[in-house]
Amino acid sequence: MTESSTSGDLLTTLRETVARLAPGDRLPSSRELIRRHNVSPVTVSRAIAQLSAEGVVVTRPGSGTYVSVRTRAADAPDTGWQTVALADRAVDTGSLGPPPEGTIALDGGYLHRSLQPTRALAAALARAARRPDAWDRAPSNGIAALRAIFAGMAGEVSPDEVMITAGGQSSLSMAFRGIVAPGAPVLVESPTYPGALAAARAAGLRPVPVPVDGDGVRPDLLADAFAMTGARLFYCQPTYQNPAGFVLSTDRRRQVVEVARAAGAFVLEDDFARFLSHSSTTPRPLLADDRDGTVVYLTSLTKPAAPSLRIGALIARGPVLERLRAVRLVDDFFVARPLQEAALELLSSPAWDRHVRTLATELRDRRQALAAAIAAELPDWSITAMPAGGLHLWVSLPAGADCQAVADAARQRGVAVSAGRRFFPTEPPAAHLRLGFAATATRADLATAVRQLSSVDPT
């Protein structure tokens, strides 16, 4: 039996025990729990810590663990005043909360644990922890060796133009707040990443959609949007775009940068999928061919490695970099040095290259498995394009379908999917779902999920 399953069994038992006791009653001692349930001291400590975090029990050093005194509803704090104080500024993440236990996750944006380089991560963290300066303050821009690696990924970039961040979402937040003034418009692809829409709106910006087709954003419509709105920033994902999966064509890559430069605006290039190709090649970033500081670039290790490796990079040239550095100092000073050192160890090891190659094959196989299941079970659903990288398929539903109704019904059948309307800054032109293929435990789960989806009425 694994440590995690043993801990879960003990938690269940202790919750049943607490339910039979009165507030203030003492639980059996740790020694008694170890003997009675034949578990390790670590398992007992974890179970008690979990119950304590939930407020079920309280621990008193030197005395024991006791059932918490349950607060009466009448004694609950009155926080109604906060509604008035917070006024009408809301941060909408569109989250439905965690799905029920056992749900097959086709809405996930991270790799399943089985796809993560957990051994390499553990080894990297162990090596990083042994460094004599591991707990020293890190430079605000990030440690030099890690900045050099990110500079090499992006092309002909100086490490001095790189700033290490706490992942892609942190980079987005800093960029939106640093580059554009509150109340201003920001141009975005339509559809686009909902986390970017949320970050832009939280910064007080107004997302303005620019349509895309199979080759990416349309430069002619981008030029029109700059002219109509006076926007000074365009946010885009040119490589394996989330959710549609397209790659901005070679000609359009040059045109997009030229259009932005002519408008006196920046391009915020989100290269989240740099290590998520389904083959051995990935297109060059827009930044690699930009010499005038038009492109501000961000990337992250979170998607290709693990959710808690919150390490990313912002790359910029000129005064905008100084602005972003100032925002960083106001926000959090620097990213924790042990995590930076661990990322450096990981990226410098042969295990990282092996992981990226293995991941490419697995993602390609999973993409094919999900696409084949959709073709067999849901012939009326249409995959807009087979992506050459990334973690998702973008699926068009039949005419008259309600994507949110489909997502809600799927959740009731034990499958979590992402309703397409979340990916549009304004009214969606049609009904879509984003279906992920990297967050499930096995490829067989993908087929099971699609069978469940086939029983959903799309209207």
What CA–CA distance (Å, rounded) separates 409 from 415? 9
CA 217 to each of CA 172, 242, 340, 447: distance values in angstroms, whole numbers, following the listed order: 19, 13, 34, 32
Task: Please give the pLDDT value at position 72.
Answer: 52
Q: Which of 56, 47, 40, 38 is nearest to 7 (CA)?
A: 47
Give the N- to C-terminal CA distance of the chain in Å, as an integer.
45
Question: Angle at the Cα of 106 (from 105 to 111), degrees rounded to 5?
Answer: 75
Lowest-pLDDT range of 16-25, 268-277, 359-368: 16-25
Contact 389, 274 (CB under 8 A): no
Instruction: Sheet containing 392-396: give its strands across.
Output: 382-383, 392-396, 432-436, 418-419
CB neighbours of residue 349 within 10 Å: 16
pLDDT band at 120 (very low <50, low <70, confident <90, very high): very high
What CA–CA distance (Å, rounded) separates 436 from 240? 13
Looking at the chain, how many residues does it have? Answer: 459
What CA–CA distance (Å, rounded) separates 338 from 133? 9
- 397-453 pLDDT, tens digit per residue, is 999 899 999 999 999 999 999 999 999 998 888 999 999 999 999 999 999 999 999
What CA–CA distance (Å, rounded) separates 107 from 157? 35
Q: Which of 176, 181, 161 is nearest to 319 (CA)?
A: 161
Task: Please give the pLDDT value at position 84.
Answer: 64
Contact 269, 179 (CB under 8 A): no
pLDDT band at 269 (very low <50, low <70, confident <90, very high): very high
Q: Which of 342, 341, 358, 336 is nearest to 123 (CA)?
A: 342
Instruction: Sheet containing 295-300: give its strands across.
Output: 162-165, 312-315, 295-300, 266-270, 233-236, 185-190, 206-213, 216-217
Q: Is this model's pTM higher than 0.75 or not?
A: yes
CA 20 to each of CA 15, 27, 54, 63, 138: distance values in angstroms, whole numbers, following the listed order: 9, 11, 17, 21, 51
The torsion angles phi and psi of 78, rounded to 5 degrees, stand at -95, 105
Average pLDDT over residues 121-146: 92
Report, in this order, helix, strand and coil percent for the chain, each rounded to 5. Answer: 45, 15, 40
What CA–CA distance (Å, rounded) separates 233 from 305? 29
Average pLDDT over residues 117-126: 95
Contact 366, 372 (CB under 8 A): no
Average pLDDT over residues 168-182: 94
Residue ranges and CATH numbers for the domains of the chain are 3-67 (1.10.10.10), 104-116+353-453 (3.90.1150.10), 132-349 (3.40.640.10)
Lowest-pLDDT range of 56-65, 219-228, 253-262: 56-65
The torsion angles phi and psi of 278, rounded to 5 degrees, stand at -95, 10
CB neighbours of residue 318 within 10 Å: 12
Highest mean pLDDT among 9-23, 70-84, 303-317 belongs to 303-317
- 279-307 pLDDT, tens digit per residue, is 988 999 999 889 889 999 999 999 999 99
pLDDT > 70 in the chain, percent: 92
Contact 389, 153 (CB under 8 A): no
Local structure of 39: helix, strand or coil: coil
Contact 434, 420 (CB under 8 A): yes
Contact 216, 171 (CB under 8 A): no
Is residue 108 predicted with pLDDT exceeding 50? Answer: yes
What CA–CA distance (Å, rounded) separates 110 from 341? 22
